[in-house]
Every structure is written in C-alpha cells, then in structure tokens.
Amino acid sequence: MELDEKKYLYFLLLLPIVVCIFLFNMYWKRKKQREFGDLEMVKRLSPERSVFKPVLKISVILLALACLIIGLVNPKIGTKMETVKREGIDIVFAVDVSKSMLAEDVAPSRLEKSKQLVSQIINNLGSDRIGIVAYAGSAFPVLPITSDYSVAKMFLQSMTPDMVSSQGTSLDEAIRLSSTYFDEKSKTSKLLILISDGEDHSEGASAAAEEANKMGMKIITIGVGTEKGGTIPLKENGVVKNYQKDQNGQTVITKLNQEGLKTIAKATKGGYVYGGSTKEVLEYIKNALNNIQKTEFEATQMADFQSQYQWFIGFAFLLLFVDIFLLERKTNWIKELNLFNEKK
C-alpha cells in the first residue's frame, strides 16, 4: 500500500482539537446547570435529555472527519503483480557533482540546473530504462538501471558534492562506471547522457569514450555553465561564507569547457548540446532518441496500485447523513440498554 498525498495526514491533528472542544463544551454546560440549580432538579426538568447521545454524535463526526482526511490522502493498494514488456533503450545519466558545479553563473547553480534538465528529460521519456551516476574526482553509483522514474527523480534531487569524497572532475571515471550499467550481451541500445561543465582534471576521457564506443554505447554530452565563468560560493545554511580559492589563495574562476565535451561525444558518434535552454535540450534529446533503435525488453514486476479514496469519502458522507438523524434526546432502544444509568 502507498499513500498518494501524505501531507494531508497533518489534518488528523484536528481530531484531538475537536475532542477538546467537545469536552470543554460539556464542562461549560454542566457548570451553567449547577449555577441554574440542583443537578437532580435539572434532570427532572429535562427527562428526555440523553447522556449517551452527545457522545455518540461526536464519535460519528470524528469518524467521518477521519474518513474524509484519509480520502484526501488517497491510499492506494496494489491489486496484482505483473511483468510488463516494453520497447525502449537503456539510458544512464552521469551528473557532475564536483564543487565547480556550485558556481552560479547559471541560475540557480550549475548543479541545480543539471538536476532540472535530467528531471525534465525523464518526464519526456516513454518506456526507457534509466540509471544515475554521480561523479567528481571519482564516480559513484547512485541508482542502477530501473523503469521506476519516480524513484529516479527522488535520488536525483538528493545529489550533492558531499556524496563524492574525491574532488575534481574525472570524466573518464564517469564513462567507465556508466558502461558497467549496461549488459554487453544485450541488444538493447545503450545511451549515456553526461552532464558537466567540462572542466576535466583527468587525461583519459577520450580513451574511455573510445572504449565505450566499442561496447556500442552512444554518448550525448550537455554543457552547463558559461565560458565567462563564475566563482564557487561556499555556503553554510544557505548563506555564502566564502569563495573557493586555489593553493595561492586566489579566488577560483571556473569556466565551461565545451570543446572537451564535444570531443567525448564525437568519439561515440553522439552529440553535444549546450544546457542553457531547457527547451533546446529537450528538443535535441527527443530527436536523438527518435534516431536510436528501440528493442523490446521485460521490465521488473510492478504493482498495479489502485486508488481507494472513494470508499473513505463515501463512508464519511454516510456518517454525516446518519448524524443528521441522531437527536440528543433519549430513544427507546437507548432506554432499554440503560447506558450511563439513564433510567434514573
């Protein structure tokens, strides 16, 4: 089971508030009755007044509110498991998370822009399988090949420079780790989408790209940043405390290196696109995917979740309808049960 809108669960905090209001109201009424006269005399003046019925009414209202809130949350229950056959390609996103990606020459920052681009690309995919790699001075596997796009986007948003201990930018490490995501024996088309500012601190990127080409991989590179460059802000709790400096104490200016990214893409007969415009990137990727041969494969077993909100909403309205006919005076069946000693 999964909950579609968990944020509405906070409304359940209203239930104890309603109970407190009810109890305060009962206390206030009893206090006023004491001020009016003797309680036994008050009971004789209103013999049909029930002690149990107000409790029953508030219980029905609380249950109805709880059902309405659960209906808003929209619980979903998996009714069956099935293996789905799909036609598509395997795509790995390699995202540069080095400190240079914190530069804000592209709003809000190079890294956040990269995440936005990958997220939008995923939104426009059909039935392709995807994986995610993070890299800086070394590469780190974030998510293996999967068809679950929602999980992929969740892992994507959690990516930061802190997840890779070795700083710098090693494009060759990213390419080599990404290649392990693909099954060499599979006939499924293999695509690596590499997002970076192109500041490569290694020397083996071209060699790694040629190895990838022999495996049948195609690489599309996306450049994020500007050729003018920008400083790398070092923040604490969202506030800039300083800027990255080199060994000589000079403020580092990081610039986009498009030529390096173009060279990698060319080695696999792929392509390069500048990531400044999300619309242009999406159009470029769409055209590239249309030119890549798709193959049929079996996706992992997936639960077919169905919404159950209608049952809770319907039951809530039924309870509210019943509450209309629940009066606060005694009824014959209540008298027979003699709850709370009401026959006195």
Determine the Cα–Cα distance for residues 131 and 94; give it in Å rounded to an integer: 9
* DSSP notation for 59-102: HHHHHHHHHHHHHHH-EEEEEEEEPPEEEE-EEEEEEE-SGGGG
Q: Is the pLDDT of residue 286 over 80?
A: yes
CATH numbers and ranges of domains, the chain: 2-80+305-337 (no CATH), 90-293 (3.40.50.410)
Which of 81-85, 167-171, 178-182, 275-279 comes out lowest in average pLDDT? 81-85
Mean pLDDT of 289-311: 72
Q: What is the pLDDT of residues 201-219, one digit of tens each?
A: 667 888 999 999 998 899 9
Q: Which residues fall within 8 angstroms of residue 175, CB to CB, at 6 or more apart?
A: 94, 192, 194, 205, 208, 209, 211, 212, 219, 264
Q: Which residues fall within 8 angstroms of residue 21, CB to CB, at 6 or more apart?
A: none
Q: Output DSSP code: residue 330.
A: -
Determine the Cα–Cα distance for residues 182 and 109; give it in Å rounded to an integer: 30
Q: Is the pLDDT of residue 336 over 60?
A: no
Q: Which residues fall within 8 angstroms of residue 95, CB to CB, at 6 or more apart?
A: 111, 114, 115, 118, 132, 133, 134, 135, 156, 159, 195
Residues paired with residue 88 on neighbouring β-strands, in sequence order: 295
Q: Which residue has the higher pLDDT, 73 or 296?
A: 73
Q: What is the pLDDT of residues 102-129, one digit of tens each?
A: 999 998 999 999 999 999 999 999 888 8
> What pTM did the predictor assign?
0.62
pLDDT of residue 340: 47
